[in-house]
């Protein structure tokens, strides 16, 4: 197994443990313990931790090490408030200017979302559901907007990964399909309403009353 494959295996295993509530927010991730568990060098563990930090699933603290990130419901609410302001106008623009090729690209994206939900790929579906909004901005040719949305979505990626149910994810993909239908129909009022409601539904679906997961690394990754 080459180093990039090994790193991906570690990242996937740890993402799954965090997503499935087997690793408690705030748990210290000791490099040596992880290296022993996965049977790899600490260098590979550091690479994996760096990737997890980029996804905001863990936080790196100078001189203290890596810790599982703690999802903030307050931050998530603020993020969704900002997203509604931005994405309502983005949707309005898409209704007025979307081309057949752009519509086709969005439909293909939703098909990928639904496939990820069906196969139970939690990390994959979370990425795809968030990327739908970024993809819309990219198709508009607005890279600044795409980057802004990507940053906003990543700020509540952990809370979405940890607390969005499969049913809510399925509903989210269906709502994306409905938004596309309204764009195709050039129904600006409906498309804007659907996008606003969709973002409110996603926010409301992030239930926080879950059982406390383990903070024992060996047990969590078993």
CATH number for the domain harbouring residue 23: 1.10.10.10
Query: So what's the pLDDT on residue 207?
Result: 62
106 belongs to a structural domain: yes
211 belongs to a structural domain: no
Structural domain count, the chain: 2
Query: So what's the pLDDT on residue 153?
Result: 86
83 belongs to a structural domain: yes
For the record, the structure tokens of 4 come out as 């990039």
Do residues 144 and 201 both lie within one domain? yes
pTM for the predicted model, two decimal places: 0.74
Query: So what's the pLDDT on residue 163?
Result: 79
Query: So what's the pLDDT on residue 39?
Result: 95
Query: So what's the pLDDT on residue 20?
Result: 73
Do residues 151 and 58 both lie within one domain? no
Query: So what's the pLDDT on residue 212?
Result: 44
Query: So what's the pLDDT on residue 155?
Result: 81
Extract long-range pairs of 50-55: CB within 8 Å, 24+ residues apart: 51/7, 51/11, 52/11, 52/14, 52/15, 55/15, 55/154, 55/157
Do residues 143 and 177 both lie within one domain? yes
Do residues 151 and 61 both lie within one domain? no
Do residues 54 and 111 both lie within one domain? no
Query: So what's the pLDDT on residue 182?
Result: 98
What are the backbone angles phi and psi of residue 66, rounded to the nearest 5°? -105, 145
Query: So what's the pLDDT on residue 218?
Result: 60
Residue 20 is given by DSSP the state T
Q: Which of 47, 70, 93 is the last residue of a domain?
A: 70
Query: So what's the pLDDT on residue 219?
Result: 59
Residue 21's domain spans which residues? 3-70
Query: So what's the pLDDT on residue 173?
Result: 96
Q: Which of 70, 100, 122 is the last residue of a domain?
A: 70
Spans of the chain below 70 pLDDT: 1, 207-222
């Amino acid at each position: 197994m080459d180093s990039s494959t090994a790193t991906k295996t570690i990242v996937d295993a740890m993402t799954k443990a965090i997503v499935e509530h087997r690793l408690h927010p705030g748990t210290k991730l000791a490099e040596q313990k992880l290296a022993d568990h996965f049977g790899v060098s600490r260098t590979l563990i550091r690479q994996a931790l760096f990737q997890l930090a980029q996804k905001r699933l863990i936080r790196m603290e100078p001189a203290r090490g890596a810790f599982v990130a703690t999802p903030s419901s307050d931050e998530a609410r603020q993020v969704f408030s900002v997203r509604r302001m931005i994405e309502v106008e983005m949707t309005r623009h898409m209704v007025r200017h979307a081309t057949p090729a752009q519509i086709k690209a969005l439909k293909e994206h939703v098909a990928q979302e639904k496939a990820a939900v069906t196969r139970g790929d939690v990390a994959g579906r979370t990425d795809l559901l968030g990327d739908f909004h970024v993809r819309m901005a990219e198709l508009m040719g607005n890279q600044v907007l795409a980057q802004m949305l990507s940053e906003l979505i990543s700020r509540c990626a952990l809370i979405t990964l940890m607390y969005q149910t499969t049913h809510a994810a399925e509903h989210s993909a269906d709502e994306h399909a409905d938004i596309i239908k309204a764009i195709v129909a050039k129904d600006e009022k409906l498309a804007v309403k659907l996008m606003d409601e969709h973002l409110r539904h996603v926010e409301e679906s992030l239930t926080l009353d879950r059982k406390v997961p383990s903070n024992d690394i060996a047990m969590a990754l078993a």
